[in-house]
Structure 1
Amino acid sequence: MINKRLVVIGGGAAGFFCAINAAKLFPALEIKLIEKSNKLLSKVKISGGGRCNVTHNAPDLIYMSKHYPRGQHFVKKAFSRFFVPDTIEWFRERGVTLKAEPDGRMFPDTDSSQTIIDCLLKEADKYRVKIEMSTAVTALTQAGNGWKVSLQDGSVLEADFVCVAAGGYAQADKFSWLQATGHKIVAPLPSLFTFNMPGNPITELMGVSVPEAHIKIAGTKLQEKGPLLITHWGMSGPGVLRLSAWGARDLAQMQYNFTAIVNWLPAFNENSLLEEMKELRFSMGGQKMHTKNPFGLPQRLWHFLLLQAGLPEEVRWADAPAKDVNKLVKQLVVMECTVKGKTTYKEEFVTCGGIQLSEIDPATMESKLAPNLYFAGEVMDVDGITGGFNFQHAWTSGWIAANSISSKQG
Structure 2
Amino acid sequence: MDPEAPKTLLITLTGKDRPGVTAAVFDRLAQAGVEVLDIEQIVLRRRLVLGVLVTAPHDWKRLSAQVERAADELQMQVEVERGVGDNRVRAVGRSHVTVIGSPLRASAMAAIAGRIADSGANIDRMERMARYPVTAIDLHVSGIAPERLRVMLAKEAASQGVDVAVQPANLLRRGMRLIVMDVDSTLVQGEVIEMLAAHAGVEAEVARVTEAAMRGELDFAESLHHRVALLAGVPASALDEVYRDLVLAPGARTMVRTLRRLGYRFALVSGGFSQITDRLARDLHIDFARANELEIVDGVLTGRIVGPVVDRAGKATALREFAAACGVSEEAVIAIGDGANDLDMLNAAGLGIAYNAKPMVRDAADTAVNVPYLDAIVYLLGISREEVEAADAAAGIVTPAPPV
Question: TM-score scaled to structure 2, two decimals?
Answer: 0.25
Q: Relative CO higher for 1 or 2, CA cutoff 8 Å, sep ≥ 6?
A: 1
TM-score by length of 1: 0.24
Q: Which has the higher helix share?
A: 2
